[in-house]
Structure 1
Amino acid sequence: MDRFRELAAFVAVAEEGAFNAAARRLGSSPPAVTRLITGLEARLGVRLLTRTTRKVTLTEAGQRLREDAQRILADLEEAEGTVAGSQATPSGHLRVTAPVLFGQRFVAPVLRAFLETYPAVTA
Structure 2
Amino acid sequence: MGKLEDMALLVAVAEAGGLSAAGRRLSLSPATMTARLKAMEERYQTRLFHRSTRAITLTRAGEDFYHAARRVLEEARHAESLLTQKEGVLSGNIRLSAPSDFGRQYLSPAIVDFSRRHPEVTFSVFLG
Q: Say whether the fold is shared (TM-score over 0.5).
A: yes
- 2:24 aligned partner, one-letter code: R
CA distance in 1: counterparts of 2:67 and 2:89, whole angstroms: 36
Note the C-alpha offset of 1:89. Answer: 8.7
**1:1-123 paired onto structure 2 within 5 Å:** 2-86=2-86, 90=89, 120=117
CA distance in 2: counterparts of 1:46 and 1:73, whole angstroms: 21
TM-score when normalising by structure 1: 0.69
Query: Deviation digits for residues 69-119 of structure 1, max 9, x if unmatched?
Result: 000000001111111113x8946xxxxxxxxxxxxxxxxxxxxxxxxxxx7
Which protein is bigger by CA-based radius of gyration? 1
Q: Percent identity?
A: 35
TM-score when normalising by structure 2: 0.66
Higher share of residues assigned strand: 2
List runs of 5+ in structure 2 lacking aligned partners: 91-115, 119-128
Matched position secondary structure for 1:50 = strand
List runs of 5+ in structure 1 lacking aligned partners: 92-118
Q: How many residues align?
A: 94
- 1:8 aligned partner, one-letter code: A
Q: 1:105 matched to which residue of 2?
A: none
CA distance in 1: counterparts of 2:9 and 2:84, whole angstroms: 24
Q: Which runs of 4+ in 1 moved over 6 A?
A: none
The alignment's C-alpha RMSD in Å is 2.2
* Paired residues of 1:11 and 1:69 also in contact (CA < 8 A): yes
Higher share of residues assigned helix: 1
